[in-house]
Chain A
Amino acid sequence: MRKRTLQLEPAIFGTVNAIIMILLAVVTLYPFLNTLAVSFNAGLDTIRGGIYVWPREWTLQNYKAVFVTGTVFNAFFISIARTVLATVLSLFLTTMLAYTVSRKEYAFRKPITIIIVMTMYFNAGLIPYYFLVKDLHLLNNFLVYIVPGLVSAFNMIVIRTYIGTLSESLIESAKVDGAGDFRIFLQVILPLCQPVLATVALFVAVGQWNSWFDTFLFTSSKQELSTLQYELMKLLSSAMNSNSNPALQNGGDASAAKAMVTPLSIRAAITIVASLPILVVYPFLQKYFVVGMQLGGVKE
């Protein structure tokens, strides 16, 4: 009896679950497909509306407009460099800190946690922050992308919580073997934390990749340091601006301003160009979620 229900029930559940998942996928895929379709559709035609998941009038014009200045290529490499560097460094430092505050015997555990957690809830403001960056000689300096954001309180707490769910006995036994905390951190904690590190790496990398505000504030006068997002923001705002008042753009004659690309379509192309490189990161990280499971099994 029991066996039969066990066989039938999973089948129903599986099917219902699969249907829910597929529905969800359709709903979440749609805006992206729509953006993709708009990015390949002629700008003036898109204004009519009615573009869903397939372009009506194919064109590469929107992408051409994105790549025309050539500045995006250099900016692309800057973006990659800052993303990779900051992610690696941030993961290391944040996890190290998280490990220390996960140790119940550590006397400063609580004050440090409080100090770090508080940083999530206040914001000193733009101007004092600008002065700090200026005083540290980080203006127009590549390091301004990396240095200020290395330790994230949120990520630290997430990692600390994960460490808390790991088996304490592993750490204890390493200590019995004479390992110091730094060695435990390197050899026990880091490998065991792979799933959460993959998650946090994604958070940091996406944050870095999407960031343009630091470029805007601190490095905007140095073209060599421009990031992809900033270049794309530039493009987008200039497209929107030219649409907002063609009369001014053309010395008073709007009839000359027949836009081949419209803000709507260029925004779509920009979104695709900006997000594709980072989108491929996730499927790659997914495998670490599985690795974590295997390690969990090894624990015994």
Chain B
Amino acid sequence: MGVKAKKPLLTTMAVAVALSLTVAACSNGNNGGKNSNSDASAAPSASANAGNSGTNATDEALKPIEISAFIGAPGQSPTPDNKLFKKIKEDLGITFKTEFLVGDLEQKLGVMIAGGDYPDLITADPKLVSAGAVIPLEDLIEQYAPKLKEHYAKYWNRMKDPSDGHIYWLPNYGAYQGNVNETFYSGPAFWIQKAVLKEFGYPKLQTLDDYMKLIREYQAKYPEIDGQKTIGFTTLASDWRTFGLLNAPEHLTGHPNDGGVVVDNGVASVFATQDISKTYYKELNGLYNEGLMDKEAFTQNYDQYLAKLTQGNVLGMFDQHWNFQTAEDSLNTQGKSDRTYVGFPLVYDTSTKDYYRDRAVINLNNGFGISVDAKDPKRIIQALEQLMDEKYQKMFTWGEEGVDYQVGADGKYTRTPEQRKNYEDPAWKLANLGDGIYGYLPKIEGTLSDGNATSPGGDPVEFYDSLKDVDKEVLNAYGHKTWTEFFSMPPDNPVYYPAWQIDLIDGSDASIANKKMTDASLKFLPRAIMSKPDQFDKVWQDYVNEYKKINVKAYEDRINEQIQWRIKNWSTN
């Protein structure tokens, strides 16, 4: 560069924000299993306490408190005159001073830990535990937070830190009460356009062969869609969004989403170079050479991928639904709803039972912990306890009664189209709801004590209202009422599930091996898929050889050690 102004110290140190967004990588849109064993009777007793906050152990009036919180993910602070937080301040004396992450989390935590300056509440990170930045919470919860204790009772052992047995974090998702209405499926699947299904009379797709056959036939029949060349199948492997390329084989063999490993009989093994993977990529190699596979699949970035889906000429892909949701929204607004997708839980052969959909898991190593710098940890845990009251939980999700929703004579909550529209307006949300911090607080999910869903999204009426005609036609054709019914009802989760939640420990051999494995896959899989059919085996062998250079065993050992640990410690609550 001709004029390259000396990069000031600061910018040199600044690391790509792009990278910082990887935090969401492993959250895979669990949609809540129908986990209804939490007894609903706990809830009414909880709300009875609402009026006089803290009946036991906290007889003195709770003094007002300002709580500083750091959230290790990007987000937006509410407006200064936010309705919800005003109410919370008036009622409970709690003010939140929230800081969201901007930039790179590793750097932020690095200086925070080095400098030893922590806010009162901080979102979970293993580094903070090893740095001694957070305090054990179990005694505080036992003493001052009966509702939280009740809420987490089933998960109590799981929440304990594997190394020292203390509870440091309050999981923000996955603790359910009452019924969970699963309507919408946001997890992994092989997706196919509704128009393709319609063309062939809504056939039932079970195997990868069924699916590919349909794509081949449709493509042969319609080489162009709306003037664009039909793309049979695409995949996304850009930045951290690599699951589209890497995760399919485990599902095709009836394994749930355990990330990079399949677990058989409690033993995890890396499947990337196993035959179950080879079969899948060989199939893609075939597609590629027939000209059905997207040529740009491996070079496209996320924006290009969405743009492609939005044009409506991609027949199918393997992905997690939330990852391409925006493309479907755009297709709907264009009136091209028949180009949106239905997900199928494909397997290699029909003797395998699909295991795409899973039961909700408690979101361990997430949510808030209380830092060593917090002046009054007792008051903070009491504040979180106060917010667990259904009265406030509802305000976070439904809003203000009579303003943002109505309660009918039958006790059901309803919303008018205008009220619904508000929820799509980010500006309105910032002024009226508390989305930012709410996402990280302990929360009630499932059903409220009065029988309503905890949030509008879980309400069946809300779901049916959002269906397009095309959607209804598809659902009727398959005899389903919701999208989740395309998937087998998941069995109870194995006690160690999911393996992707296991902390590999930064800088360890396991973690470095994991990084190298992903790199090798991203490098060799595209080559294998794009090779001439007779070259495939050779490239595949190169790929396998590359893996042999990596310390895969360190990775597997870490996973297996933790699986065993979980089986030992989690089998009882």
Listed in ascending order, the chain A residues whose CB lies under 8 Å from chain B are 44-45, 47-49, 64-65, 68-71, 120, 123-127, 129-131, 134, 139, 148-149, 152-155, 203, 207, 211-214, 216-217, 220-221, 223, 230, 233-238, 240-241, 243-262, 264
B110: chain A residues at CB < 8 Å are 126-127
Asked whether any CB of chain A lies closer than 8 Å to the CB of B514, the reply is no
Report Cα–Cα, A129/B466, bound state, in Å: 53
Task: List 27 interface pairs A-B (beta carbons < 8 Å), by A numbering.
Answer: A47-B330, A48-B330, A68-B426, A71-B77, A127-B110, A134-B115, A153-B6, A155-B5, A212-B103, A216-B102, A221-B99, A233-B102, A234-B76, A236-B17, A237-B17, A237-B74, A238-B75, A240-B21, A241-B24, A245-B29, A247-B27, A248-B24, A248-B27, A251-B457, A252-B445, A253-B458, A257-B325
Q: Chain A CB within 10 Å — which of B14, B30, B31, B68 has the most?
A: B14
Q: Chain B CB within 10 Å — which of A71, A123, A129, A251 has the most?
A: A251
B31: chain A residues at CB < 8 Å are 247, 252
Report Cα–Cα, A289/B370, bound state, in Å: 58
Report Cα–Cα, A149/B6, bound state, in Å: 11
Report Cα–Cα, A139/B321, bound state, in Å: 43
B222, chain A: closest CB distance, angstroms: 20
B467, chain A: closest CB distance, angstroms: 9
A24, chain B: closest CB distance, angstroms: 15
Report Cα–Cα, A68/B77, bound state, in Å: 11
* B157-165, B305-313, B563-571 - interface stretch: B305-313
B111 near A126: Cβ-Cβ < 8 Å: yes
B455: chain A residues at CB < 8 Å are 250-251, 253, 256
A244 near B426: Cβ-Cβ < 8 Å: no
A233: chain B residues at CB < 8 Å are 17, 102-103
Closest 7 CB pairs of A and B: A253-B457, A237-B74, A154-B6, A247-B29, A49-B307, A68-B427, A44-B330
Of all chain A residues, which has the CB nearest B459? A253
- Interface size in chain B (residues, C-beta < 8 A): 79
Of all chain A residues, which has the CB nearest B454? A251
Q: Which of A71, A130, A153, A214 contacts B115 (CB 8 A)?
A: A130
A252 near B329: Cβ-Cβ < 8 Å: no
B102 near A246: Cβ-Cβ < 8 Å: no
Report Cα–Cα, A245/B326, bound state, in Å: 11
Of all chain B residues, which has the CB nearest A222? B99
Q: A64-B427, A213-B11, A230-B102 are in contact. Are A238 and B29 (CB under 8 A)?
A: no
B5: chain A residues at CB < 8 Å are 152, 154-155, 203, 207
Q: Which of B103, B322, B330 contacts A245 (CB 8 A)?
A: B322
Report Cα–Cα, A169/B572, bound state, in Å: 90
Of all chain A residues, which has the CB nearest B445? A251
A69 near B79: Cβ-Cβ < 8 Å: yes
Q: Which of B6, B184, B327, B424 contacts A47 (CB 8 A)?
A: B327
Asked whether any CB of chain A lies closer than 8 Å to the CB of B73, the reply is yes
Asked whether any CB of chain A lies closer than 8 Å to the CB of B303, the reply is yes
Asked whether any CB of chain A lies closer than 8 Å to the CB of B108, the reply is yes
Q: Name B417-459 residues within 8 Å CB distance of A.
A: 423-427, 430, 435-436, 439, 443, 445, 454-458
Asked whether any CB of chain A lies closer than 8 Å to the CB of B173, the reply is yes
B8: chain A residues at CB < 8 Å are 149, 152, 207, 211
Q: A251-B454, A255-B457 are in contact. Are A221 and B68 (CB under 8 A)?
A: yes
Report Cα–Cα, A220/B114, bound state, in Å: 16
Q: Name B103-128 residues within 8 Å CB distance of A.
A: 103, 107-108, 110-111, 114-115, 117, 119
B426 near A120: Cβ-Cβ < 8 Å: no
A240: chain B residues at CB < 8 Å are 21, 74
Asked whether any CB of chain A lies closer than 8 Å to the CB of B463, the reply is yes
Report Cα–Cα, A234/B20, bound state, in Å: 12
B74 near A251: Cβ-Cβ < 8 Å: no
Q: Which of B11, B20, B322, B457 contacts A237 (CB 8 A)?
A: B20
With A221-B99, A257-B325 already in contact, 11 other A-B pairs whose C-beta atoms are closer than 8 Å: A44-B330, A47-B307, A69-B77, A70-B79, A131-B114, A213-B14, A214-B10, A238-B100, A245-B29, A247-B322, A262-B326
Of all chain B residues, which has the CB nearest A42? B333
* Mask of B304-347 contacts with A, CB within 8 angstroms, 1/0: 00110011000000000110011101100110000000000000
B111 near A127: Cβ-Cβ < 8 Å: yes
Q: A48-B310, A48-B330, A130-B114 are in contact. Are A255 and B12 (CB under 8 A)?
A: no
A44 near B68: Cβ-Cβ < 8 Å: no
B325 near A246: Cβ-Cβ < 8 Å: yes
Asked whether any CB of chain A lies closer than 8 Å to the CB of B9, the reply is yes
Q: Which of B10, B184, B424 contacts A254 (CB 8 A)?
A: B184
A257: chain B residues at CB < 8 Å are 325
Report Cα–Cα, A164/B466, bound state, in Å: 72
Asked whether any CB of chain A lies closer than 8 Å to the CB of B186, the reply is yes
Report Cα–Cα, A27/B79, bound state, in Å: 41
Q: Chain A CB within 10 Å — which of B73, B77, B325 has the most?
A: B325
A213 near B333: Cβ-Cβ < 8 Å: no
B100: chain A residues at CB < 8 Å are 234, 237-238
B306 near A47: Cβ-Cβ < 8 Å: yes
A247: chain B residues at CB < 8 Å are 27, 29-31, 186, 322
Q: Which of A65, A71, A217, A246 contacts B426 (CB 8 A)?
A: A65
A253: chain B residues at CB < 8 Å are 183-184, 186, 455, 457-458
Of all chain B residues, which has the CB nearest A255? B184
Q: Chain B CB within 10 Å — which of A120, A221, A245 has the most?
A: A245
